[in-house]
Amino acid sequence: LGNLDELFPNLPDGLLSGIPATTDFSLYFMLTANLSFVYNTQTSRLVSTQTIGQFIGCDKMGVNLLLQQFNSFNPPIQQQLVKF
């Protein structure tokens, strides 16, 4: 992909991962060891910040929304029968 700083300027230091937050890829959840950021790819700016605990410890509705977003980008893995 090349240099992340060129593709996504103004990223936080210590970036570990990024997860699309919207289906049009305009917003991403950017994760460090301690913080979660919402990053706007159109403006190349951080929109909001919260701790990883706040990000993961959301209510049931928030967890369902996160899983829905994740599943929209990652189709379920088809289980295959393995014979030994």
Q: How would residue 17 be classed by pLDDT, with cut points 50, 70 and 90?
A: confident
Does residue 78 form part of some domain?
no
Q: How many domains does the chain have?
A: 1
From residue 13, alpha-carbon distances to 10, 43, 71 in Å are 9, 18, 28
CA distance 4 to 12: 11
Domain of residue 35: give its range. 4-69
Torsion angle in degrees (nearest 10) through CA of 59, 60, 62, 63? 120
Q: Greater confidence, 3 or 35?
A: 35
Q: How would residue 21 be classed by pLDDT, with cut points 50, 70 and 90?
A: very high
Does residue 51 form part of some domain?
yes
CA distance 53 to 36: 9
Does residue 45 form part of some domain?
yes
pTM of the model: 0.63
Does residue 79 form part of some domain?
no
Give the residue carrying structure tokens 């593709």. 7
Write out pLDDT tens, residues 52-83.
Answer: 778 877 656 666 676 677 667 655 555 555 55
Question: Residue 22 corresponds to which tokens in the numbers above?
Answer: 């919207």
Question: Residue 29 corresponds to which tokens in the numbers above?
Answer: 């959840």
